[in-house]
Amino acid sequence: MINGIRRIGSRGIDTIWRGGAMARFFWLVLLNSGMSFRRLHLTVREIYFAGVMSLVIIMVSGLFVGMVLGLQGFETLQNYGAEETMGVLVALSLVRELGPVVTALLFASRAGSAITAEIGLMKATEQLKAMDMMAIDPIARVVAPRFWAGVISMPILAALFSAMGIFGGYIVAVAVVGIDPGVFWANMQSAVDFRYDVWNGIIKSIAFGIAVSIIATFEGFDADPTAEGVARATTRTVVTSALTVLAINLILTAFMIRGL
């Protein structure tokens, strides 16, 4: 029993330590970011592997989520005779919440785990140490481009997710339910405010991008240099990213919600 409490204590201290190490790592990445923009091809390559390769999963998921939102909303909206506000429901849900959050979760699972595995493997095969010995800062050469690629890709992917979702909702509304397209768009445009909804969604996706990228790169950099260590680091990336994204989402939404 005492041992159990001891374990909880040591896990807690470990988590706080990791949080502090991640903060220092974040600061180091920011300091060493010059190379990512001076030698832009490094970052561009990472944007390809993190962003472009995630395009398919993000856009298809967005389409499906939008269509499901349309279908699910239809039944409840019908009770109040408000089917024509389906566009409003789909657009607001996606742009404010689902776009940034689901994209961040998918991005963490796909690109985040790939980044962690790549950096972890470099650590396990001692490539990072070799770079250190050649006076090349591994953080500047390996970590920072991947970080900035994640931060740049996330808002773009979130916007694409939301756009595909709205398109999916449009398909459900017009083709399946039979709402007039003009009414669909008119209601949506009058309910979605750029500054309050779209811009807040963009801010959220940038915050999530920073969080997921720094967690992915840190876990890779800090992984145990064994095969098992890399596997554990990849799992930790996905789990920690998911929890952090949802926590940040709660905090940001609490600040952004109008009328409180």
Residues contributing to the site for other proteins (CB under 8 A)? 41, 44-45, 47-48, 51-52, 55, 91, 95, 153, 155-157, 159-160, 162-163, 166, 185, 188-190, 192-194, 197-198, 202
Alpha helices, H only, 109-175: 113-124, 127-133, 138, 144-171
How far is Cα 44 from Cα 140, in angstroms, rounded to an integer? 15
Nearest approach, Cβ of residue 161 and other proteins (Å): 9
Nearest approach, Cβ of residue 241 and other proteins (Å): 21
How far is Cα 101 from Cα 66, in angstroms, rounded to an integer? 14
Nearest approach, Cβ of residue 254 and other proteins (Å): 20
Nearest approach, Cβ of residue 95 and other proteins (Å): 6
Nearest approach, Cβ of residue 143 and other proteins (Å): 19
Nearest approach, Cβ of residue 162 and other proteins (Å): 6
Q: Cβ closer to other proteins: 59 or 71?
A: 59
In this structure, what token pair is assigned to residue 79?
């009770």
Q: Cβ closer to other proteins: 17 or 194?
A: 194
Q: Cβ closer to other proteins: 82 or 252?
A: 82
How far is Cα 125 from Cα 148, in angstroms, rounded to an integer? 24
Specify burial of residue 162 (Cβ count, 10 A radius: 0-12, 13-18, 19+): buried
Q: Cβ closer to other proteins: 205 or 244?
A: 205
How far is Cα 211 from Cα 100, in angstroms, rounded to an integer? 12
Q: Cβ closer to other proteins: 166 or 245?
A: 166
The amino acid at residue 217 is T
Q: Cβ closer to other proteins: 95 or 223?
A: 95
In this structure, what token pair is assigned to residue 123?
């650590």
Residues 199-216 as b or e (16 or more Cβ within 10 Å = b): ebbbebbbbbbbbbbbbb
Q: How many CA atoms lie within 13 A of 35 on its CB side?
A: 17
